[in-house]
Amino acid sequence: MKKKILLIGLAIVVLVGGVFYLTAFKDENNDNNEDIASENSISNNVGENVEEEEEVIEEEKESETAVPDIAIGELAPDFTLLDLNGEEVSLSDFRGKYVLINFWATWCKYCDLEMPDLDRLYEENEDLVVLAVNVMEEKDLVDKYIEEGEYKFPVVLDKEGKVAVTYLVSAFPTSYFVDKEGVLLGGVPGMMTYDQMNQLLNGIRGNE
């Protein structure tokens, strides 16, 4: 059976009955565009630690072997990272469920705004896993943030930023959708609202 695949670019997602622009919320909040871009950018001047993290990611990007091809409609690049309990978690562990991979950092203002909606989406949908990939921050800092927010979704630590590089992440937050068979459906740069997350998830379900 030929599989229907949502071709989700970094700016556009094809949904049932037409095209939904993932960046539409930026149009609706046009006055905030520049702020969102500056707050989300990994290259933001958010202190020496973040600048060092950026340098590592840029070095990885320059490596010929650091960035394998990621293709919409193909299997999402698998990865294995440690969670906050020190246990290994792989993307492929979640086959049979939709996966929303969310790349984030504690210092990111728009990640902070998005987190409660991600948690709500995760709690309300048994067929969905929200996999929060923290990029290049210390475990204690991430642990405290998640505990204070009382978030239930799984969190893994991309300590060296290699997974973020693989997924071509250049801003926080960035999210990717993966279907039940592990196929990469596409990505969303920037913050999503709860309604947008739901619309995307329902569109993905409708295209099966």
Report pLDDT for 197. Answer: 98
Decide which of 175 and 55 is more confident: 175
- Distances in Å between the alpha carbon of 194 and those of 14, 30, 51, 136, 169? 19, 19, 31, 26, 21
d(CA 80, CA 89): 5
**Would 30 be classed as within a structural domain?**
yes
**Would 29 be classed as within a structural domain?**
yes
Report pLDDT for 21. Answer: 28
- Structurally, the chain folds into a number of domains equal to 1
Tokens of 97: 């469920």
Report pLDDT for 40. Answer: 46
Decide which of 12 and 115 is more confident: 115
d(CA 184, CA 71): 7
Q: What is the CATH number of the domain that holds 69?
A: 3.40.30.10
d(CA 37, CA 24): 14
d(CA 163, CA 133): 9
Q: What does pTM read for this prediction?
A: 0.72
**Would 144 be classed as within a structural domain?**
yes
**Would 110 be classed as within a structural domain?**
yes
Report pLDDT for 74. Answer: 97
Containing structural domain, residue 83: 12-206
**Would 134 be classed as within a structural domain?**
yes
**Would 7 be classed as within a structural domain?**
no
**Would 5 be classed as within a structural domain?**
no
**Would 3 be classed as within a structural domain?**
no
pLDDT in tens, 124-143: 999 999 999 999 999 999 99
